[in-house]
Homo-oligomer: A and B are copies of this chain.
Amino acid sequence: MKSITELTQKRPALAWLLFFATIAVVFLLGLLASSIIERRAEALFVNTPKTVLRDGEVRNEKWGENYPREFQSYYGTADTSFRSKHGGNAMVDMLEEVPEMVVLWAGYLFSRDYNQGRGHYYAIEDIYNSLRTGAPMSGDAGPQPTTCWACKSPDVPRMMKEEGITQYHSGMWARLGSEIVNPIGCADCHNASTANLQISRPALIEAFQRQGKDVTSASYQEMRSLVCAQCHVEYYFNKKVAEGANYLTFPWDKGMTVEEMEKYYDEIEFSDWTHALSRAPMLKAQHPDYEVAQFGIHAQRGVACADCHMPYQSEGGVKYTNHKMQSPLNNVAASCQVCHREETATLVQNVYDRQDKILEARGELEKALVRTHVEAKKAWELGATEEQMKDILKGIRRAQWRWDYVAASHGGSFHAPVECGRIVTAGLNIAQETRLKLARLLSSLGFNGEIPYPDISTKAKAQEFIGLDMKKFREEKALFLKEVIPVWKAAAAERESSWN
């Protein structure tokens, strides 16, 4: 065959066709390349840190200089405008929603104040305001230990580093008031020099170690849940590590089911408090969000917390993680709909359906538990002996542990509805079996009837029923907020101003 030169010499029209076609193709390729280069350049630009961060930098604003998109979206946690049927990001007074909780926690600080929390942005402000932290006018005043700061701030790992872990866990909450001031943020989950995900809290690392596992071998996808599991878990204050220390510990050594954790607590004869009405040795569930989620289909299919609560997002040429941690129901398009091709209204309804059904059972359990406490109180009043009450008090402890485990688990009735249903049902059965024992005991003590359900239709009535002087607590808190907090803040500002 002849060369193309020879061919086009003989066919000038063919030559022109080839010429213009080539020009057109090259022009289009140029456009494409330009678009690719531009997007890469943008990504390169935004992903190159401009500020050198201090090791474990606690100030979220400093991180924000390097990671503006993440920081800007993190500030979204200040948003309190979303209210779903059973959640949202607004502060909700749970004791008002479910006054039974006041009675269930009688003798424990939760009976004074328990809110659906706001976003991470408010972590410090809300722990100041909570009536559960009381009004400590000096660094060694109660009621809470330093451990209560543990999940509130990146200043916590900073202090652990400064003081040592056991020392950090010693003393009262007010002791660290001027040290712990930055709300939950960047350094809680990220390494300041590499920005990689890392575990900043020892409790998770130690829980893994005691089970013979190494948390540093976790995959990136696992880390996108494990950084959350530093705090969104069940834990307790271990007093056996050192004198005066309340060492934050996960009760995972026997496994992650509600029964295995109960067995752990039973074996070490742990109780959070003694109930004011029934005198039962109670357990308070914290928020076993991570544990419960592991029993749900999303976790079982490898979906991480961040996949739904902090979905990936694109802006220009940059893909980043949306750091406005929130209910996916407020961001269905970027979370659920990445996998589920259904209308938003349908998906939201699917969530509500699960939550409603579990809440129906939980509500019954709450009422049964109130009755166990009231009936046990009556039995004591009629002269029941410790021996007669032993099994009954154990039943109350076991039933309420199951209730609290589900009630305290954020989103649990969606994350793992069948497991939550199982737990609530077991709790309800134990509560009712306990009431049968109480009925027979009461009858043998001369009372054979039904004790009327107390009028606890509002939080105020319930708090009055258990004998709380709320006015006093509120006045003390107001004084604390007025006099102590400004001092803490000023000291912190001065310290931070000395940093670069």
Interface residues of A (CB under 8 A from B): 1-2, 11, 13-14, 297, 300-301, 342, 350, 353-354, 357-358, 360-361, 364, 368, 417-419, 421-422, 424-426, 428-429, 432-433, 435-436, 439-440, 443-444, 448-450
Contacts and interface: CB of A to CB of B under 8 A. Distances in A.
B435 A444 contact: no
A419 B356 CA distance: 10
7 contacts: A1-B14, A361-B422, A364-B429, A425-B425, A429-B432, A435-B436, A448-B448
Nearest to A422: B357
A341 to B, nearest CB: 10
A450 B440 CA distance: 8
A432 B425 contact: no
A384 to B, nearest CB: 14
**Interface residue SS majority, chain A:** helix
Given A300-B350, A357-B419, A444-B448, A364 B439 contact: no
Nearest to A424: B425
Contacts of A14: 1
B297 A421 contact: no
A439 B442 CA distance: 11
Contacts of A444: 448
Given A436-B432, A436-B435, A425 B361 contact: yes
A417 B421 CA distance: 9
Contacts of A419: 357
Nearest to A421: B421
B439 A449 contact: no
Contacts of A360: 422, 425-426
B417 A361 contact: no
Contacts of A357: 418-419, 421-422
Most buried by B among A301, A421, A449: A421
